[in-house]
């Protein structure tokens, strides 16, 4: 992702002020206009603090740390900083999030339909389920009365009509990312799917988000970016 983001940023006329690798981990981004953070779940909090302490707005694409969202919001507020996070920066995925929320609201009054989320990623992805799948499940939770929370599923496609949203995860080959939400009844099935063909969409979205965040203060998501006229 780092190489893909750098390529997009340079293509759009931006200058790369600092590249952080394992060899210079902990290097301060002081003096940069904005930082884009794609690292590991065990490193993301330290990187967020490093950016906020340096007064540099940070776009966070790492997943697997969302149980600390409240603590990060407090940190952004006390540092008077700026942070934008997303489980997925692809513009297409963020439109898919909106479609998922609308569909969940429509399906909730129809108890014959059960639900399952399926996600597939490359073998190098460290977290499972993916942050994108968890976001999809969270949004269904917020817009239905029948579902609350999520659980890892074994892919047996039970399609429960209530309870925790089941998420089936598969790690195979070099798949960039595929997410499907299926509502199934004894009579029929409705499925919506987003499939990425490469990392370009994620990288482009992250660079767009970084440009949007520059000059702002506060805590934001990709919804804020999409809701702003360009």
Q: Give the β-pairing of 35-37 and 58-60.
A: parallel
Distance CA 209, CA 15 (A): 16
How far are the Cα atoms of 37, 65, 89, 163, 221 from residue 141, in angstroms, in the given order? 28, 19, 21, 10, 18
Q: Which residues pair with 58 in a beta bridge?
A: 35, 83
Residues taking part in catalysis: 121, 125
Starting at the edge strand that comes first in sequence, how are the strands of the sheet with 189-195 ordered? 147-153, 163-171, 114-121, 178-184, 189-195
Cβ burial of 103 (10 Å; 0-12, 13-18, 19+) is: middle
């Amino acid at each position: 992702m780092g190489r893909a983001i750098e390529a997009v940023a340079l293509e759009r006329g931006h200058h790369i002020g600092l590249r952080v690798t394992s060899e210079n981990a902990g290097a301060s981004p002081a003096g940069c206009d904005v930082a884009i953070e794609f690292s590991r779940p065990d490193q993301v909090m330290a990187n967020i603090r490093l950016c906020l302490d340096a007064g540099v707005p940070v776009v966070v694409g790492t997943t697997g740390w969302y149980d600390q969202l409240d603590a990060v919001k407090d940190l952004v507020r006390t540092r008077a900083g700026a942070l934008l996070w997303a489980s997925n920066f692809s513009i297409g995925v963020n439109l898919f999030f909106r479609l998922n929320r609308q569909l969940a609201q429509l399906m909730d009054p129809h108890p014959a339909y059960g639900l399952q989320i399926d996600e597939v990623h490359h073998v190098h992805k460290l977290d499972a389920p993916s942050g994108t799948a968890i976001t999809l499940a969270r949004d269904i939770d917020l817009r239905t009365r029948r579902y609350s929370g999520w659980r890892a599923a074994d892919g047996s496609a039970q399609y429960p009509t209530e309870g925790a949203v089941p998420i089936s995860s598969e790690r195979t080959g070099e798949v960039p990312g595929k997410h499907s939400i299926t509502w199934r009844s004894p009579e029929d099935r409705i499925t919506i799917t987003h499939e990425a063909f490469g990392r370009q969409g994620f990288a482009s979205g992250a660079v767009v988000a970084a440009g949007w965040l520059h000059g702002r203060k506060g805590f934001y998501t990709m919804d804020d970016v999409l809701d702003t006229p360009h």
